[in-house]
Chain A
Amino acid sequence: MKLALLLFFLLVSNFLPSSLAAPSSSGDGYTITGRVKVEGMTSKGFGVSSKLLNAKIILNGGQSVTFVRADGYFTFHNVPAGTHLIEVAALGYFFSPVRVDISARFPGKIQAALTENRKVLHELILEPLREEQYYEIREPFSIMSFLKSPMGLMVGFMLLVIFVMPKLVENMDPEEIRRAQEEMRTNFLPGSS
């Protein structure tokens, strides 16, 4: 964490938008420029741009809100020196908030780190930590899942009783059965005996 790479700003942020920040030519603040990158995560068949269409970038819990451009870049202007928090709100993805330090003593020095896993960012390229699946996925039909369901258990039990029980009974000695029946009768109906 302490070994975080100190990033250098570029004087003119517009030339190299991937730079983290630049002191703006006028006003009292700095400019933070970053990029939201969602790659290799288009398994749902959506294009990157259409997925990120509504991505909002939020500074300090709502102090200012900006949107992601078509190329993924975003910019905050007139940000004072200090420690700030950038959040990305994009449906379908989980982004970690980013801690951004703008140094007051060395104008131009900036540090950025993900707050979730303390990963230091060398460039302000924000990538989602994971894709978010909002729905439970239905298990496809399988014999095992059916058998495990209460209905399946019931059917299985019934089959067992119909086909296995008679076999068990047949294998028993008729004498024994009779004895067992006698016993049952005496046990259950003690009054009648």
Chain B
Amino acid sequence: MGSSHLRPPTAMAIRARLGFVILLLLFFSATLSAALYEDQVGLADWHHKYIGKVKHAVFHTQKTGRKRVVVSTEENVVASLDLRTGFIFWRNVLGKNDDIDQVDIALGKYVVTLSSGGSILRAWNLPDGQMIWESTLPVSTPSKSSLYVPANINVGKDNLILVFGGSSIHALSSMDGQIVWRKELSIDSLEIQQIFQPHDSDVINAVGFVGSSEFVVYHISYRTGEVMQQSKASFESGFCGEASLVFDNLVVALDASKSSLVSISFKNEVINFHQINLSDLVPDFSGKVTLLPLKFNGMLAIEIASSIHLLRVKGANELEFVEKISHPFAVSDALPLSKEQQAFAILQHEESKIHFKVKSDNDLRNEILKETIQMDSHRGNIEKVFINNYIRTDRTHGFRFLVVMEDHSLLLIQQGEIVWTREDGLASIVDSTTSELPVEKEGVSVAEVEHNLFEWLKGHLLKLKGTLMLASPDEVAAIQAIRLKSSEKNKMTRDHNGFRKLIIVLTRAGKVLALHTGDGRVVWSVLLPALRRSETCGNPFALRVYQWQVPHHHAMHENPSVLVVGRCGHGFDAPGIFSIVDSYTGKVQNSLMLEHSVSHIMPLPLTDSTEQRLHLIIDAKLQAHLYPKNSDSLKHFFNEMPNIYWYLVEVEKNKIRGYSLENKAELDTAEEYVFQAKELWSIVFPSESEKIAVTATRKMNEIVHTQAKVVADQDVMYKYISKNILFVATVAPKAAGEIGSATPEEALLYAYLIDTVSGRILHRVCHQGAQGPVHAVVSENWVVYHYFNLRAHRYEMSVIEIYDQSRADNKDVWKLVLGKHNLTVPVSSYSRPDVMVKSQSYFFTHSVKSMAVTATAKGITSKQLLIGTIGDQVLALDKRFLDPRRSVNPTQSEKEEGIIPLTDSLPIVPQSYITHSLQVEGLRSMVTIPAKLESTTLVFSYGVDLFFTRIAPSRTYDSLTEDFSYALLLITIVVLVAAIFVTWALSEKKELKEKWR
């Protein structure tokens, strides 16, 4: 009887506990997620590999087995691609100054690259890309150099590779890269144009020009480099420097006036010139003339006024016009089909169609192959084509075309079809921004994603097995597959956590692409017509991309749009280009050529009534142009005009100047949106001792959660938070070069904090013996910068934190109660700030390519620094390690606050590389985007590769991780409920027994 009264409370207690424990459980599972586990790779991150715009391509298809194409690109990448799929077998990214001049295959097993203006020759193993040898050629002046790898004349013997450029020829052994011989043809201003080897001979012929009017032929021994024969002749009217080898003894060159061709025949020391007027050859000849390097026997291709003319060379003075191909087009190099036969391809663009023609030298009038394919218009025109042949089953020749398009993409075309496409423009991203996805429409249920409860539970049971390490390898694979193909992350709608977004990138080719953050796929892409080469703009140049319209309250039915700013030419006074692109569809809404130049673009924190963001464009004449040009934006702008201050950093002049805006006196209607700059202040750095190395500011959209920082012993410090802080680092001019060029005594680094409204220098600090390169990041009230310490010969990172002293006495409660505080006084840049600065320096191991800081939606989460290291990895480093209040022995209260004991160098924990075991080759920049979930930041880093992930600097304290096992939770609840009933039944039974007793 007695126990019966107690038991129901026990069961109740269990029930009460249950709720508590579940809470506890949620809490625990949420905080348990630490760094990445290996099986979590690819859940929240993606990594795409690119190579860049292809400059040269060499096919390797002779042998059976893997068919590949070796390419070199403008991003200094040498790569081997699978010819069937376009996948990268291997690639090597050379240094940023190590431009690849040429690539070829030697001995059928080595890829040979010539780079750095003809001074470095490297050989790479064809199957795996391992470097075999490297050779540095003593080239006095970097000049246009070329590589000549003789076709296997004697297979088995050590073939020589010839490198020529300027007046020197080097012959290197293709086995080990040793220089076998070197010939400096001791004639000033000699430009060797071409080296060639007549069939089956040990003599190579080198032809070139001396100065502008002399033509030289050398016969050089292939084995020793001895000059066996040399002949020279001069031509009165001179050459312009372009020449094309037509036969083994005939060169056709352009004369100095570029109006006639000169055929130069040379045989046994006799050189004959024949001048042929172009106007005689080509009907209606006019315009600019260039010779195309065709390397085709008996053929000559000249480009006249952007159309191509094919000429057939019959003899020394007999040229015949064959065909005219109008722009846009591309011509491939010649491809030997057999010993006597050569072929080449002409590609011609006609709106959305591309015509492929392959011609052989036997019959120039007719084509071996003629195909036409459809091409998306957003790839632009053809830039380059490389051809390769294969023998079909019926013993005829088939051709493959490797095509480089205007947007830098790479395509393989075979039998009239596109076999594969690589979007390699993404290797050269110039700028990026983000856009929210559309809101989910009603009627599309989220629940459909989870097919049914049973499937869902089964999935979670599998996951449970996985976490308990009970799963078999098959099941592990199944779990991985379930997680990776989760359709949730790739949907085209906005999600609750703000993980799904569009990253809108602008590439150097002038293409805008939208990437989905879920898997990095291209949602849409558009090659901006305004940024394409045209008659009006010969050299367009993509600059930046900004958010133009973000519908929020007013224009909800409209799609958001981005603004792409470009420049017509590289000079600062070149006219600007504007393009507005719809973020959801990629449609160009508006495109205009500006009448003024673009030297500085300022997105203002103002929008007009249709939520278009106001932008000020500062031109080279220091006039500010307001966009969008409508009266509504003007009205909003006038309200804020007195508060607009801006500055310009003039690195060449070592000057920083601050400006405000004023109305122009004369008010024309056209000039309504133009304002005049009014100089307010200027800071001139003494050019004999300082040179501006880097400037950094806070991100305009950064959100700071709290102004106050509670430190140990209940004290409060007020952060000096100002949007107008500019960090400037200057270095001594002597030490402005690379590391190793200056001694510690010569090197000095000054760090400045400048208020950009008043031009006041808030703080200045000098680092003795330090030099650049400097990388800096500013956030909240702190700056972190990375530089090289020459005395310790290590990299260093310093932190400066600024605190507002004028508010420091607001800690008194009584003052707050009596209203004697100054908390309501607005922070103004005009009032003389009373700031306190704390700083500290630490050693850091690696060179840094780029730095960024995490950004979250509300700014509550603690910050992490993102450091792009020289090894192309991205390291996340807690800001707590860069806290100037760190000391060697923190007190107990400081430890509770989370202050880490001071160490002389910053720790590098391998698990905190957010790129884990991947490399973002050629890393250039990292962009942080706050998610809606406060704990999480999205990180997009780009270089040659793209990498995206999301990180939680203080772990995901506000949501369950994807790993959370709902099944385990359910099972526990079921077991507990069952236990309640069992105990209840047991107690009833016992009670009955007691009563019977």
CB distance from A113 to the nearest CB of B (A): 8
Q: How far is the CA of A171 from the CA of B841 in the complex (A)?
A: 67
Q: How far is the CA of A132 from the CA of B869 in the complex (A)?
A: 15
Pair A134/B910 contact, Cβ less than 8 Å: yes
Which of B34, B739, B845, B873 is A60 in contact with, Cβ under 8 Å? B739
Q: How far is the CA of A14 from the CA of B18 in the complex (A)?
A: 75
Q: How far is the CA of A169 from the CA of B8 in the complex (A)?
A: 13
In the assembled complex, B142 has its CB within 8 A of some CB on chain A: no
Which of A75, A138, A157 is B37 in contact with, Cβ under 8 Å? A138
Main SS class of interface, A: mixed
Pair B794/A115 contact, Cβ less than 8 Å: yes
Also in contact, A97 and B34, with CB within 8 A (given A49-B130, A69-B131): no
- Which B residues touch A82, using CB under 8 A? 740-741
Q: How far is the CA of A82 from the CA of B744 in the complex (A)?
A: 11
- Which A residues touch B90, using CB under 8 A? 53
Q: How far is the CA of A14 from the CA of B132 in the complex (A)?
A: 15
Which of A58, A92, A115, A154 is B917 in contact with, Cβ under 8 Å? A92
- Which B residues touch A62, using CB under 8 A? 95-96, 847, 849, 870
Q: How far is the CA of A66 from the CA of B39 in the complex (A)?
A: 33
In the assembled complex, B97 has its CB within 8 A of some CB on chain A: yes
Which of B13, B740, B910, B975 is A133 in contact with, Cβ under 8 Å? B910
Q: How far is the CA of A123 from the CA of B469 in the complex (A)?
A: 47
CB distance from A141 to the nearest CB of B (A): 4
Q: How far is the CA of A82 from the CA of B740 in the complex (A)?
A: 6
Pair A94/B134 contact, Cβ less than 8 Å: no
Q: How many A-B residue pairs have C-beta atoms within 8 angstroms? Tell me.
A: 179
Pair A135/B133 contact, Cβ less than 8 Å: no
Pair A78/B136 contact, Cβ less than 8 Å: yes
Also in contact, A135 and B975, with CB within 8 A (given A85-B739, A150-B28): no
A76, closest chain B residue (CB): B136
Also in contact, A150 and B25, with CB within 8 A (given A62-B847, A161-B14, A181-B5): yes
Q: How far is the CA of A62 from the CA of B28 in the complex (A)?
A: 45
Q: How far is the CA of A153 from the CA of B14 in the complex (A)?
A: 13
Over the window 151-193 of chain A, the binary record of Cβ atoms lying under 8 Å from chain B Cβ atoms (1 yes, 0 no) is 1011101100110011001101010011001000000000000
Q: How far is the CA of A69 from the CA of B792 in the complex (A)?
A: 30
Q: Which of A54, A70, A116, A149 has the most CB of B within 10 A?
A: A54
B95, closest chain A residue (CB): A65
Q: How far is the CA of A181 from the CA of B17 in the complex (A)?
A: 22
Also in contact, A177 and B6, with CB within 8 A (given A27-B138, A68-B131, A150-B21): yes
Pair B972/A151 contact, Cβ less than 8 Å: yes
Which of B3, B39, B741 is A170 in contact with, Cβ under 8 Å? B3
Pair B128/A58 contact, Cβ less than 8 Å: no
Pair A26/B138 contact, Cβ less than 8 Å: yes
Q: How far is the CA of A146 from the CA of B972 in the complex (A)?
A: 13
In the assembled complex, A37 has its CB within 8 A of some CB on chain B: no
Pair B95/A87 contact, Cβ less than 8 Å: no
CB distance from B909 to the nearest CB of A (A): 9
Q: How far is the CA of A49 from the CA of B94 in the complex (A)?
A: 19
Also in contact, A174 and B134, with CB within 8 A (given A62-B95, A87-B846, A91-B871): no
CB distance from B561 to the nearest CB of A (A): 38
- Which B residues touch A107, using CB under 8 A? none
A60, closest chain B residue (CB): B739
Q: How far is the CA of A144 from the CA of B98 in the complex (A)?
A: 57
Pair A134/B130 contact, Cβ less than 8 Å: no
In the assembled complex, B223 has its CB within 8 A of some CB on chain A: no
Over the window 47-78 of chain A, the binary record of Cβ atoms lying under 8 Å from chain B Cβ atoms (1 yes, 0 no) is 00110011010101111111111100001011
Also in contact, A177 and B2, with CB within 8 A (given A60-B740, A67-B134, A141-B469): yes
Which of A50, A64, A68, A151 is B25 in contact with, Cβ under 8 Å? A151
Pair A67/B92 contact, Cβ less than 8 Å: yes
In the assembled complex, B86 has its CB within 8 A of some CB on chain A: no
Pair A135/B37 contact, Cβ less than 8 Å: yes
CB distance from A26 to the nearest CB of B (A): 4
B918, closest chain A residue (CB): A91
Q: How far is the CA of A53 from the CA of B130 in the complex (A)?
A: 6
In the assembled complex, B773 has its CB within 8 A of some CB on chain A: yes
Also in contact, A66 and B134, with CB within 8 A (given A61-B739, A134-B916): yes
Over the window 835-877 of chain B, the binary record of Cβ atoms lying under 8 Å from chain A Cβ atoms (1 yes, 0 no) is 0000000000111010000000000000000000111110000
Pair A85/B979 contact, Cβ less than 8 Å: no
CB interface residues, A 38-53, toward B, < 8 Å: 49-50, 53
In the assembled complex, A120 has its CB within 8 A of some CB on chain B: no
Over the window 196-208 of chain B, the binary record of Cβ atoms lying under 8 Å from chain A Cβ atoms (1 yes, 0 no) is 0000000000000
Which of B2, B738, B788, B793 is A169 in contact with, Cβ under 8 Å? B2
CB distance from A105 to the nearest CB of B (A): 13
Q: How far is the CA of A136 from the CA of B29 in the complex (A)?
A: 16
Over the window 778-798 of chain B, the binary record of Cβ atoms lying under 8 Å from chain A Cβ atoms (1 yes, 0 no) is 000000000010101110000
Pair B468/A141 contact, Cβ less than 8 Å: yes
In the assembled complex, A84 has its CB within 8 A of some CB on chain B: yes
CB distance from A145 to the nearest CB of B (A): 10
Pair B95/A135 contact, Cβ less than 8 Å: no
B990, closest chain A residue (CB): A166
Q: How far is the CA of A178 from the CA of B29 in the complex (A)?
A: 43
In the assembled complex, B10 has its CB within 8 A of some CB on chain A: yes
In the assembled complex, A103 has its CB within 8 A of some CB on chain B: no
Which of B41, B130, B793 is A99 in contact with, Cβ under 8 Å? B793
The 10 A-B pairs of least Cβ separation, nearest first, read: A65-B95, A89-B871, A132-B910, A77-B136, A141-B469, A61-B847, A60-B739, A67-B131, A135-B38, A150-B25
13 A-B contact pairs sorted by A residue (CB < 8 Å): A53-B128, A62-B95, A62-B849, A63-B740, A64-B98, A69-B134, A87-B870, A89-B871, A115-B792, A115-B845, A135-B916, A150-B29, A154-B17
Interface positions of B (Cβ within 8 A of A): 1-3, 5-7, 10, 13-14, 17-18, 21, 24-25, 28-29, 34-39, 41, 90, 92, 94-98, 122, 125, 128-134, 136, 138, 178, 468-470, 738-741, 773, 788, 790, 792-794, 845-847, 849, 869-873, 905, 908, 910-911, 913, 916-917, 919, 968, 972, 975-976, 979, 983
A94-B908, A138-B37 known, 14 other contacts, Cβ within 8 Å? A14-B178, A53-B129, A63-B95, A63-B739, A65-B94, A69-B131, A90-B871, A132-B910, A140-B469, A141-B468, A149-B28, A150-B21, A150-B24, A161-B14
